[in-house]
Structures are given as structure tokens and as C-alpha cells.
Amino acid sequence: MRIRRNRGAMGREISEKRKRQCAKLLEISKDIVGQAFDRFKNEELGITWTGGKDSSLTLWIIRQVCQEKGIPIPKTMIIDEGDEFEEIGEFVKRIKGSWNVPLEVCRNEDVLKAAHYTLNTSVKVKDLSERNQAELKRIGFDREEFPFEAESYVGNHLMKTVVFDEFLERNKIKGVFQGLRWDEHPTRFNDEYFEHREAAYLVPEHTRIRPILHLTEKDLWDTYAAFKIPYCRLYERGYRSLGAKTTSQISVQGVPAWEQDLENTEERAGRRQDKEKAMERMRKLGYM
């Protein structure tokens, strides 16, 4: 894995004017991070990181603030869904070392074990722990088995939501940083910088903190280039959005993410199979 340093990241020149614009956006982000440190003790804060572009930029911003304040980076979690890109693994390992990230790799071991660590293996619900069985009930899942996939309705809940909730619980975390952006997905438009979540069944009370909410995809890539921030090289190959390995697709082969038509195409299209499924249902119901 090669991290580009000391020359224009992505080989792109960013104008001074644009650089100032990006710096302004970053000031807002840093202010949010600063507010979070005022509100919570360092050990009550956590960071969610995936190695993707959004959470990596968030981590970089938090690190900047921590350096200015002379405090350590809060506990950072990364989820091992059992279906990762090697390139992300290498990138995470490299950054962890060079930025000194207190990283905790979190996984739902119980489910991975029941699936024999193999994708698409059928997992029997009765083989799972009491907690995981309760979690399945919580989402209304009522069958006896399911295929092990990281991004299905069930997989997403067990491999991500549950692991996230357990991370908060285990570390008594009250505020957690997330790399969400408004323009990434329309459904996030109503999200706020600080969102308080009350405790509910199996979910601890916590506040979600989203410092880069206001950045568009273009802002994000320009910021990466302007400040020479390292990123995972899969984005150079044409991936725009990275999820699990088997469900992520290259958006435009060979065209780096930042050179694609960011404003008129869907960022998560390469990750979303739901479109096709929904269209197929519409056809079957007699529409179109």
C-alpha cells in the first residue's frame, strides 16, 4: 500500500481560492469536534472508522483537533464484517501506525463462528447466543436460519448495529463520532451534527456526532487533495463508495472517484442492490 505524500494528492492542483473554501468547511468541522470535547470527557468519546473516505476524513479532523489540544485520539472502532477488501485492511493498518490510533477491531464473533467464517453459509438461529437471538427478535426476524451476508437486512443488523451498540456499552461511550454527510444519501438530510439517542431495549443512551455533515462529495475530495490527506487506493480504481467487498462495485472502471460525475450520478449506486430489487417488485405488481 502506497500513501501519497509530499506532492499534490491524486496528482491534482487545487486553486488557492478553492483551498480556502475547503479550509472554511474544515473550520466548521473542527468546531463541532471541539464542542464534543467540551461536552464529553475524552474517555467518554468514541470514533467509528471504516477505512472509507468519510470516516477517514473525520478521523483526520479529530486528530488535528487532538494535536492542537495536546490530547490523545479517542478510542476508535472498526467493524470486521468478515467480508473486507484487503486494500482497506492495509490502509487501516498503515494509518493506525502512523497516526497512533487507539484502534479496537470489533466483530460479532458469535455469528462469524456460526457461519464458519464463510460467506453465504446458512446460519441457524438456535446456534447463536442469547443476545444475538434477542437482536433478531428485535428486528422481527422470525425464521430458523439465514444466509451469512454482511449487508442484508439481518446481516447488517447483527454485524454492524449490534457490534456498534456493544462497543458503546463495553467502553461506556457517551458520544460517538460518525462520518456521515448530508449529500451522501437523501435519507440523511434531516440528520443533525449532534443527535441524542435515548436508551432503548439493547441500545445504550448516546449522542452521535457528525463533523463532516455539511461536506459534499466534491468538497470531500477537494479537501483530500488540498491538504494531502491519505486515502485508500481503491478510490483511484473507480470505486466511489466502499462497503463489504462482495457488494461494492466499481462505479466507473479506471476513473478515480473524484473525476467521476459527482453531481449527476448516485454515489452509493455501486453499493445498492435495492434499486434492482424494488424495480423487479414494481414490475411484478403490474407497473411499468
Residues of this chain that bind another protein (CB under 8 A): 134, 136-142, 152-153, 186-187, 189-190, 198-202, 272, 274-275, 277-279, 281-282, 284-288
Amino acid at 24: K
Give the residue with the Cβ less far from another protein, 70 or 186.
Answer: 186
Shortest Cβ 18–another protein spacing (Å): 26
User: Please, what's the b/e burial string for 204-231 (b: 16 or more CB within 10 A of its CB; e: otherwise)?
Assistant: bebbbbbbbbebbbebbbbbbbbbebbb
What is the residue whose three cell numbers read 462520518?
179
- Are residues 156 and 150 in contact, defined by beta-carbon separation less than 8 angstroms? yes
Beta carbons of 207 and 176 less than 8 angstroms apart = yes
Q: How far is the CB of 118 from another protein (least distance, A)?
A: 20
Residue 66 to residue 81: CA distance in whole angstroms: 29
**Does residue 267 contact residue 240 with C-beta atoms inside 8 Å?**
yes
* Closer to another protein by Cβ: residue 16 or 198: 198
For another protein, the closer of residues 16 and 142 by Cβ is: 142
Using the minimum distance from each CB to another protein, give the nearer residue, 64 or 156.
Answer: 156
Minimum distance from residue 203 beta carbon to another protein (Å): 8
Tell me whether residue 109 or residue 274 sits nearer to another protein (CB atom).
274
Q: Which residues pair with 49 in a beta bridge?
A: 78
Per DSSP, the three-state class of 45 is strand
**What residues pair up with 78 in beta bridges, in sequence order?**
49, 105
Find the shortest distance in angstroms from Cβ 165 to another protein.
12
Q: How far apart are CA 184 and CA 217, in angstroms?
A: 7
**What is the nearest approach in angstroms of another protein to the Cβ of residue 5?**
38
Min dist. Cβ of residue 25 to another protein (A): 20
Nearer to another protein, 198 or 263 (CB): 198
C-beta of 105 vs 279, nearer to another protein: 279
What is the smallest separation between the CB atom of 13 and another protein, expressed in angstroms? 34
Pairing of strands 145-147, 122-124: antiparallel
CA distance 214 to 216: 7
C-alpha cell recorded at residue 200: 432503548
Please, are residues 229 and 60 in contact by the beta-carbon 8 Å criterion?
yes
